A and B are shown apart, each in its own frame.
Chain A
Amino acid sequence: MRAASSYTVPRDPRFAQLEQQDLDYFRSVIGDTGVLTDPDALQTYSIDWMGKYEGKCSVALRPKSTEQVSKILAHCNKRLLAVVPQGGNTGLVGGSTPVHDEVVLSTAGLNRVLSFDAVSGALVCEAGCVLEQLDAHVGGHGFTMPLDLGAKGSCHIGGNLATNAGGLRLLRYGSLHGSVLGLEAVLANGTVLDLLTTLRKDNTGYDLKQLLVGSEGTLGVITAAAIQCPPRPAAVHVAYLAVPSFATVQQVFVRARRRLGEILSAFEFLDRGSLELTLAELDGVRDPLPSSAEPFYLVVETSGSNAEHDYAKLEAFLEEVMEEGLVADGTLAQDSTQVAGIWGLREGISVALRHAGPVYKYDLSLPVGKMYELVEETRARVAGLPCRVFGYGHLGDGNLHLNVSTPRYDDAVQARLEPWIYEWTAAQRGSVSAEHGMGRMKAECIGYSKPAAAVDVMAQIKALLDPNLILNPYKVLPRAALAGNVPAQRMPAAA
């Protein structure tokens, strides 16, 4: 089984090179300001947030309407120009940047909110809207976006949908598969798929939007979405707990589910190393429990409609876990500034890792009981190498973020980690990508979590919707699977 990698993928010789006629066409569709060719400007489009994956896109396009996206894709499909759809470029698996000279299709120009129904909570917006701005918009009407993640200030909702982003509140609001009411997407040949309804229930035929959610830009370009927004909770409480062992972490989780069940909205864990790194690397972050030296910390959040009731439940839960010694120490945020302080710490971990230098990131779904075992075994496995191993994540969802920080990207380190971490995960029947997606990093790794027959069906669907394989090539599915599935005939161009 191939390891995930920063290994170089050869450029697919089927793809055309960008020519003047293409630039002229793009300019005629979206105007001069929407077509970027300056090499300095293109650099930001060509490199990912971690600085790990760098391509060299030939041009970046910023269309302002679905119609423009349709024309661009139809042209690229006809000319066999490879295209990388790009939102906020905050992905962590190299899925949103070019590998070679692909055309970058940015959603930044598709940034309008189209409508918001303040009774039903249905938001309709274009794919390039920034998540945090959407949250502020619906917040003004007493609603909240059904997802939240550290990248919220930059990520686009289209990208969130394309990657089926999870985040901090999946525990409470479920995955985007459940929150998406409708989508508008453009297929490789320019066909506009208008599935943009706001109906909560619609069982007419196959639910195609679910195919697009999580497809990482390989089956179509999402241009607009309808999202079901839940009411903004009136009362939010956050507790930060110091726990003596991972076994007790699990017990606290079980207890939290039982005592706080209906109001629990987040259950995150971090190890001592992650805490210390974040305090060391980031300004404006402080230790909520400076006198505590426990190995694990939990962020437990409740969201409900009645502050008094919720506080009473939370108080009872906290008293119980303290009395039984499951929790060694902790704090309960007394105001919104303290709430922000605790979340800032948890959300700051991946930023701190970025500041610390190169990092190998693993995003795994594992049985909760096994999660930290992998972290400890990884630490043992790289002992002697200049690495630091950190474990944190969405404990409530069984999602571990295993991070190995090194002074530089090093094949020797990578060889110790991969494919061993994937094999370990596969042995637990876990997922090698809980929420980050496959992107470029794990394009050859799907076999660790999905059987060959399933991968084959995926490749057939890809060939059906994008027969020229121009959408986000070199990503998500293994080359061998795709090679076996290119149909003999091309899909006719859109009318």
Chain B
Amino acid sequence: MKRVLVAVKRVVDYNARIRVKADKSGIDVANVKMSMNPFCEIALEEAVRLKEKKLTEEVVAVTIGVKAAQDQLRTALAMGADRGIHVLTDAELEPLAVARLLAALAQRDEPALFLLGKQAIDGDNNHTGQMLAGLLGWPQATFASKVETDPVAGTATVTREVDGGLQTLRLRLPAVVTSDLRLNEPRYATLPNIMKAKRKPIEQLSPEALGMDVPKRLEILRVEEPPKRKGGVRVASVAELVDRLHNEAKVL
């Protein structure tokens, strides 16, 4: 394959403590640590492994968002991507708008494979990869736990994690694949690669340059914290336990 494109998203760090804004309009992300979405990291790792196996000539990482998202591109480059594309926008991003931008890039750059994380840990939408495939009219395999490509035959064989177990699909390339947790364990970026990443090229462009806008089609009505978990209680006897389960918790 000539080229694999990987989309990576800047999200709130997996372990960061977050607070809901007082007006319930969203999460307060001021001064919160941001990192690459873990599933995007897995997708990127898979792409880099394909390059190491010489199944693709080039890995291109793409991100859409604010200026600071460049940090995530640098991480992607440090992990082994060859170059980056940064679509700069301060607009709030929704899956359809993102999918349309990625589709425009796919049409422009013609990758054989477009890898994404199955979902982002902020929105948990699990929409973007599927919409992207739909817009492009490409085959898709989501929740991938194993990806094998046959560039000669022009196909990819993907094992998917589904409710009943595992499903294996063969897709004609070009195709869209989204990563699940067990696909791989992303590498630690080594210092020499972190240094080299600073010199790798990042193409910056606006959504307009791709002929797209970033419209707001969804309105968030309310964001609330889940109800606080009540502490456990110690009971003195089995009789008391049964009594409380029956009369208080009403589960017996």
Question: For residue A241, which residues in chain B have a CB less than 8 angstroms away from its CB?
Answer: 191
B229 beta carbon closer than 8 Å to chain A? no
Q: Which of B12-20, B150-158, B165-173, B219-227 contacts A (4 or more CB under 8 A)?
A: B12-20
Q: Tell me whether A139 and B17 are in contact in the complex, defined as CB-CB below 8 angstroms, given that A329-B191, A331-B189 are known contacts.
A: yes
Q: Which of A169-177, A332-340, A414-422, A472-480 is the interface stretch?
A: A332-340
In the complex, per-residue mask of A268-298: 1 if CB is within 8 Å of any chain B CB, else 0:
0000000000000000001011000000000
Chain A interface residue number, banded: 20 to 34
Cβ of B191 and Cβ of A337 under 8 Å apart? no
**Is A336 in contact with B15, judged by CB distance below 8 angstroms?**
yes
Would you call B182 an interface residue if the criterion is a C-beta within 8 Å of the partner chain's C-beta atoms? no
Q: How far is the CA of A329 from the CA of B14 in the complex (A)?
A: 27
Cross-chain contact A331 with B190 (CB below 8 angstroms): yes
Whether a CB of chain A sits under 8 angstroms from the CB of B36 is: yes
**Proximity bits, A344-375, B CB within 8 Å = 1, else 0:** 00000000000000000000000000000000
Residue of B nearest to A240 (CB): B188
A230 sits at the interface (CB 8 A): no
User: Given A139-B17, A234-B31, is A338 in contact with B192 using a C-beta cutoff of 8 Å?
Assistant: no
In the complex, what residue of chain B is closest to A332 when comparing beta carbons? B194
Q: B14 near A322 (CB under 8 angstroms)?
A: no
Closest Cβ–Cβ distance, residue B217 to chain A (whole Å): 30
Whether B38 sits at the interface, judged by CB under 8 Å, is yes
Chain B 1-30 interface 0/1 with A at a Cβ cutoff of 8 Å (1 = within): 000000000000111110000000000000
Q: Which residue of B lies closest to A292 (CB)?
A: B190
Task: Tell me the bound Cα distance from A140 to B189 in angstroms.
Answer: 31
Q: Of B17, B31, B192, which is within 8 A of A329 by CB? A: B192
**C-alpha spacing A239/B31, complex, angstroms:** 22
Query: B13: which A residues are within 8 A, CB to CB?
Result: 335-336
Closest to B74 in A: A334
Decide if A194 is an interface residue (CB 8 Å cutoff).
Answer: no
Q: Is B75 part of the binding interface, using a Cβ–Cβ cutoff of 8 Å?
A: yes
Q: Is the CB of A337 within 8 A of B15?
A: yes
Q: Is B185 an interface residue (CB 8 A)?
A: yes
When the two chains form their complex, are residues A286 and B185 in contact, meaning their CB atoms are under 8 A apart? yes
Q: Tell yes or no: A376 within 8 A of B by CB.
A: no
Q: Is the CB of A335 within 8 A of B14?
A: yes
Q: Are B192 and A333 in contact (CB under 8 A)?
A: no
Please, how many angstroms separate the alpha-carbon atoms of A318 and B195 in the complex?
A: 9
Q: How far, in angstroms, from A288 to B189 measured CA to CA in the complex?
A: 9
**B216 sits at the interface (CB 8 A):** no
Instruction: From known contacts A139-B17, A234-B31, infer whether A338 and B188 are also in contact, taking CB-CB under 8 Å.
Output: yes
Given the contacts A139-B17, A286-B185, A288-B188, A335 and B35 also touching, CB distance less than 8 Å = yes
Q: Is the CB of A334 within 8 A of B190?
A: no
A311 to chain B, nearest CB (A): 9
Q: Are A334 and B31 in touch, CB under 8 angstroms?
A: no
Q: A335-B14, A336-B14, A340-B15 are in contact. Are A327 and B35 (CB under 8 A)?
A: no
Question: For residue B246, which residues in chain A have a CB less than 8 angstroms away from its CB?
Answer: none
Query: Which of B14, B38, B188, B195 makes the CB contact (< 8 A) with A333?
Result: B188
The distance in angstroms between the C-alpha atoms of A289 and B189, with both chains bound, is: 9
Tell me whether A327 and B191 are in contact (CB under 8 A): yes
Contacts of A336 in B (CB 8 A): 13-16, 33, 35
A240 to B190, CA, bound (A): 9
Q: Is A109 an interface residue (CB 8 A)?
A: no
**Contact: A334 with B35, CB < 8 Å?**
yes
Q: Which residues of B contact A330 (CB under 8 A)?
A: 190-191
Q: Are A337 and B194 in contact (CB under 8 A)?
A: no
Q: For B33, what are the chain A residues with a Cβ–Cβ distance below 8 Å?
A: 235, 307, 335-336
B139 to chain A, nearest CB (A): 31
A329 near B35: Cβ-Cβ < 8 Å: no
Q: Which residues of B contact A288 (CB under 8 A)?
A: 188
Contacts of B38 in A (CB 8 A): 335, 337
Distance in Å: Cβ of A118 to nearest Cβ of chain B: 15
CA distance A331 to B186 in the complex (A): 13
Closest Cβ–Cβ distance, residue A86 to chain B (whole Å): 22
Does A319 sit within 8 A of B, measured CB to CB?
A: yes
Cβ distance B130 to chain A, nearest Cβ, rounded Å: 26
> Nearest-CB distance from A241 to chain B (Å)?
8
Bound complex: CA A332 to CA B38 (Å): 17
Q: Which of A296-338 contact B (CB under 8 A)?
A: 307, 318-319, 322, 327, 329-338
Interchain CB contact (< 8 A) of A319 among B35, B75, B195: B195
B158 → chain A, closest Cβ, in Å? 25
A334 to B185, CA, bound (A): 14
Cα distance A492–B35 when bound, in Å? 63
| Bound: A165/B195 CA distance, A | 38
A327 to B195, CA, bound (A): 14
Residue-wise interface mask of A (229-248) relative to B, using a CB-CB cutoff of 8 A (1 in contact, 0 not): 00000110001110000000
* Cα–Cα, bound, A235→B78 (Å): 21
Are B14's CB and A318's CB within 8 A? no
Name which residue of chain B comes closest to A139, CB basis.
B17
How far is the CB of B135 from the nearest CB of chain A, in Å? 30
CA distance A241 to B189 in the complex (A): 12
Within 8 A of A (CB), among B80-112: none
CB neighbours (8 Å) of B78 from chain A are 334
- A342 to chain B minimum Cβ distance, whole angstroms, is 8
Residues in A neighbouring B15, C-beta threshold 8 A: 336-337, 340
- The minimal Cβ–Cβ distance linking B235 to chain A, given in whole angstroms, is 13
In chain A, residues 364-391, which have Cβ atoms closer than 8 Å to a Cβ of chain B? none
Residues of chain B having any CB pair with chain A under 8 Å: 13-17, 31, 33, 35-36, 38, 41, 75, 78, 185, 188-192, 194-195
CB-defined A-B contacts under 8 Å, sample of 8: A286-B185, A288-B188, A318-B191, A329-B191, A331-B190, A331-B194, A336-B15, A341-B188
3 nearest A-B pairs in the assembled complex, by CB-CB distance: A335-B35, A336-B15, A331-B188
